[in-house]
Amino acid sequence: MPKITARDVLGPGSPLEHALAGYEVRDGQLAMAEAVERALDHDRPLFVEAGTGTGKTLAYLVPAVLSKKKVVISTATRTLQDQIFTKDLPLLREVLGAHGVTFTCALMKGLSNYLCRRRYEELKKSGDAGLMIAKVERWLLDTESGDRAELDLPEGSPLWLGVQSGSDTRIGAPCAHYESCFVTKMKESAASADIVIVNHHLYCADLALRRGQRGEFASVVPAHDAVIFDEAHKLEDIASDFFGTRISSGRLTSLARDARRSLGIKATVGAGLEAVLDVLVESESRFFGELARGERPGIRRVLARADLVKVADAAGAMDSALATLAAAGGGQADESARQIGRRADEARADLAFIAGLTRYDPEDTERKPSNVAWIDVRERSASLGASAIDVAPVFREALFARIPAVICTSATLATKKGDAEPPPSAPLTRQPLPTRSWGGEENVGELEGAPPLSESPLSKATRVARPLEFFRDRLGAPTDAIELVIPSPFDFASRAGLYVARDLPEPSDPDFDALATDRIVELLAVSGGGALVLCTSNRAKDAFYTRLLAAKTKLPLFVQGAEAKHKLLARFRAARDGVLVATMSLWEGVDVPGEALRMVILDRIPFAVPTDPVVMARCEALEREGKSAFGKYSIPSAAITLKQGFGRLIRSRTDAGVVALLDRRVATKGYGKALLSALPPARRLQTMDDVRAFWDEIFTPE
């Protein structure tokens, strides 16, 4: 029997076409599926930007299933993770099963999503559980997964924080509950599955553990042949935190609470433990409280040596209490008590590591730190941390050198248009590929031994000269990685307009907020609502929302933060003519197809916050190498984020509308051309009269 290919499953006359009403064959989807298929067959790294509407999820799932390899699929969001596991894979199992193709799959979430039976029992014994424990007890009688998604508890519930699993609380095989542990079951299921669905946080945690070589439990994700990262544009930022460290008031408070439950009931520990724990709680409260005093919540900044000098007394008391706790736990025979000691030791080590980074002298050209220390203050908590400045070495060592096939895909990876962009009908040139390396000649050739590209849908994909170079290099991928850009099948030229407000002052002008609000009101008068106003800061969000309230547009007005995100979006969709003012967290991942979202307004170019510690450190590193941080980092990063914001508008073939950018710099500065060229080919609108004319054209019935 001939081997079933991705084209057989997705192409004309395929099982999917017969099984799904309204199914349409998409050349872009076939192009991507064939590229993934070849990358898996030949163990090659592949980077694919697949425009909105490509159907990229099935384009990688089908070849992954057909490969008969163990493949991990990693996503940035829990929503996509659940969609793949509960919708897409069951569909493929049903369709392919009728043709003799079978496979197994498993879902892995971060450990904090699962209840820890040991911590649950300790909480019950402590008498601190509260009334909600009865709800958890009833749920435990029925649940098979132990996943908190099944349990209706408020976000950030203190009860869940007290019973959730975690890498710092899990003790593994010595635990009395190991066999019935939900995490154990989750890992066993993943170990035997063909397809494993995880998220970037969990995968990066696994890489950090493998690289740290912490012994028996130095891995989370089972060994696999290939990994596919969807929403890959988020990988660098997520990895930056996981390859660093963080210590917070919540972490130490949790440690003290668990110590009271675990060590406090051991008679051999000694009567002085309660006093030590009291000192730990009091000193950590003073330590973080003094650090946070005078700081504006929501701002992360570089941690300076002077910050630690002013909290030296509290730091000393805290360290002494942690040392005592570490010794007390380390001397116990009980494994859960010994773990308390390990957690205290790790907290001391993390604090020392972070403090050591503040001694770095920026003028010391001989030393190039791999991490940057920061302080982050929130409304109800504070934390210190260290983030990796450059994640490429870690990915190079722990990922690309270890996993034969690494595939990264997203709707936004390219930051430029290439020089070699053939028309759709042009055949593609095949070139020999070099040995895998991280230096030498660049190559955009095709896989050796593959059929001529002109005979496949790949010939209709956009093949350009290193369009994904910025993203590839940030992850430290080898230079023989295949790069592919597949345009969206949507007709942006006739269905979408891009308006740049050239006549407004620059965002730094004191009059910008007032004049920009007036322009937003004008734009809303054209669209009649159905608008998403995306801001690059909380300050801008609050300013525009307040001014729009005062403008009394008579349209339903919503603001991010007023209620839970899913409820807010549901109300916005239902309003049909609503206006939602939001910040960066809604620049991506928001799917509002149809007339409920027909205009997207961006307040300014989404440059990375220049005072963010990681951004500062990355820019300084580039400048030390004699490179332009603005050209090599700020502009490419902004291009990707700008594409994400633009991508909220057109979510289906029937969608239409306008994206309005209120930042004139994209039209007046030299770098503006690079930013605009990375966007979809929407019709360029120069004036408000152009906006009105375009609107009448696309929304006036024939």
DSSP string, 226-268: EEEESSGGGHHHHHHHHTSEEEEHHHHHHHHHHHHHHTTT-GG
How long, in residues, is the chain?
Answer: 702
Residues 471-483, mean pLDDT to the nearest whole number: 90
CA–CA distance, 411 with 648 (Å, rounded to integer): 11
CA–CA distance, 622 with 271 (Å, rounded to integer): 55
Q: Is 407 left (phi over 0), alpha (psi -120 to 50) or beta?
A: beta
Other CB atoms closer than 10 Å to residue 508's CB: what's the count?
8
The 3-state DSSP class for residue 569 equals helix
Does residue 19 sit in the same domain as residue 58?
A: yes
Does residue 620 sit in the same domain as residue 479?
A: no
Other CB atoms closer than 10 Å to residue 97's CB: what's the count?
12
The 3-state DSSP class for residue 222 equals coil
Say if CB 614 and CB 240 are below 8 A apart: yes
CA–CA distance, 299 with 374 (Å, rounded to integer): 10
Say if CB 247 and CB 347 are below 8 A apart: yes
Continuous segment of H or E residues that includes residue 405: strand 405-410
Continuous segment of H or E residues that includes residue 139: helix 133-140
In whole angstroms, how far apart are CA 317 and each of 279, 312, 610?
A: 7, 9, 35
- Say which CATH number the domain at 639 has: 3.40.50.300
CA–CA distance, 392 with 400 (Å, rounded to integer): 10
- Say which CATH number the domain at 355 has: 1.10.275
Q: What is the C-alpha radius of gyration for the chain, rounded to an integer number of angstroms? A: 27
Other CB atoms closer than 10 Å to residue 401's CB: what's the count?
12
Please give, one letter per residue, the 3-state secondary structure of 169-194: CCCCCCCCCCCCCHHHHHHHHHHHCC
The answer to whether residue 466 sits within a structural domain is: yes
Q: What is the residue range of 308's domain?
A: 245-388
- The total of structural domains in the chain comes to 3
Amino acid at 326: A
Question: Residue 419's pLDDT is what?
Answer: 33
CA–CA distance, 579 with 446 (Å, rounded to integer): 47
Residues 691-697, mean pLDDT to the nearest whole number: 96
Burial class (CB in 10 A: 0-12, 13-18, 19+), 554: exposed
Does residue 333 sit in the same domain as residue 379?
A: yes
Say if CB 610 and CB 630 are below 8 A apart: no
In whole angstroms, how far apart are CA 131 and each of 135, 136, 542?
A: 8, 10, 38
pLDDT over 60 (residue 445): no
The answer to whether residue 426 sits within a structural domain is: yes
Question: Residue 344's pLDDT is what?
Answer: 95
Question: Residue 364's pLDDT is what?
Answer: 59
Residues 546-571, mean pLDDT to the nearest whole number: 90
In whole angstroms, how far apart are CA 244 and each of 21, 164, 208, 397, 603?
A: 48, 22, 9, 16, 32
The answer to whether residue 679 sits within a structural domain is: yes
**Least confidently predicted of 100-109, 144-153, 444-453, 543-552:** 444-453
Does residue 434 sit in the same domain as residue 547?
A: no
Q: Is 661 left (phi over 0), alpha (psi -120 to 50) or beta?
A: beta
Does residue 537 sit in the same domain as residue 610?
A: yes
Please list, in sequence order, all residues whose beta carbon lies within 8 angstroms of the beta carbon of residue 340, skipping any fewer than 6 positions away. Answer: 255, 258, 259, 262, 263, 325, 328, 329
Question: Residue 365's pLDDT is what?
Answer: 56
Question: Residue 466's pLDDT is what?
Answer: 67
Say if CB 579 and CB 557 are below 8 A apart: yes
Last residue of a domain, one of 486, 520, 549: 486
- Residue 462 bridge partners (DSSP): 485
Which residue, 390, 303, 394, 317, is CA-closest to 348? 317
Does residue 473 sit in the same domain as residue 340?
A: no
CA–CA distance, 169 with 257 (Å, rounded to integer): 12
In the numeric block, the tokens 């001397």 are attached to 331
In the numeric block, the tokens 């050198």 are attached to 401
Does residue 432 sit in the same domain as residue 552?
A: no
pLDDT over 80 (residue 489): yes
pLDDT over 90 (residue 465): no
Going 685 to 690 to 692 to 693, the CA torsion angle's sign is: negative
CA–CA distance, 334 with 654 (Å, rounded to integer): 63
The answer to whether residue 173 sits within a structural domain is: no
Residues 182-206, mean pLDDT to the nearest whole number: 94
Please give, one letter per residue, the 3-state secondary structure of 92-136: HHHHHHCCCCCCCEEECCCHHHEECHHHHHHHHHHCCCCCCHHHH
Please give, one letter per residue, the 3-state secondary structure of 18-78: HHCCCCCCCHHHHHHHHHHHHHHHHCCCEEEEECCCCCHHHHHHHHHHHCCCCEEEEECCH
pLDDT, mean over the chain = 86
Does residue 252 sit in the same domain as residue 331?
A: yes
Does residue 428 sit in the same domain as residue 541?
A: no
The answer to whether residue 208 sits within a structural domain is: no
The answer to whether residue 465 sits within a structural domain is: yes
Does residue 498 sit in the same domain as residue 426?
A: no
Last residue of a domain, one of 486, 515, 538: 486
Amino acid at 251: R
pLDDT over 70 (residue 485): yes
Say if CB 690 and CB 632 are below 8 A apart: no
Say if CB 606 and CB 642 are below 8 A apart: yes
CA–CA distance, 351 with 349 (Å, rounded to integer): 5
pTM: 0.88
The answer to whether residue 128 sits within a structural domain is: no
Which residue, 475, 489, 491, is CA-closest to 409? 475
Does residue 481 sit in the same domain as residue 559?
A: no
In whole angstroms, how far apart are CA 323 and each of 132, 266, 320, 326?
A: 34, 18, 5, 5
The answer to whether residue 113 sits within a structural domain is: no
Share of the chain above pLDDT 90, in %: 64
Amino acid at 611: T
**pLDDT tens digits for 422-440?**
323 223 332 333 333 333 3
**pLDDT tens digits for 30-88?**
999 999 999 999 999 999 999 999 999 999 999 999 999 999 999 998 889 999 999 99
Last residue of a domain, one of 433, 452, 486: 486
Say if CB 370 and CB 388 are below 8 A apart: yes
pLDDT over 90 (residue 314): yes
CA–CA distance, 222 with 209 (Å, rounded to integer): 13
**pLDDT tens digits for 210-237?**
776 444 345 789 999 999 999 999 999 9
Question: Residue 15's pLDDT is what?
Answer: 86
Does residue 462 sit in the same domain as residue 346?
A: no
The 3-state DSSP class for residue 633 equals helix
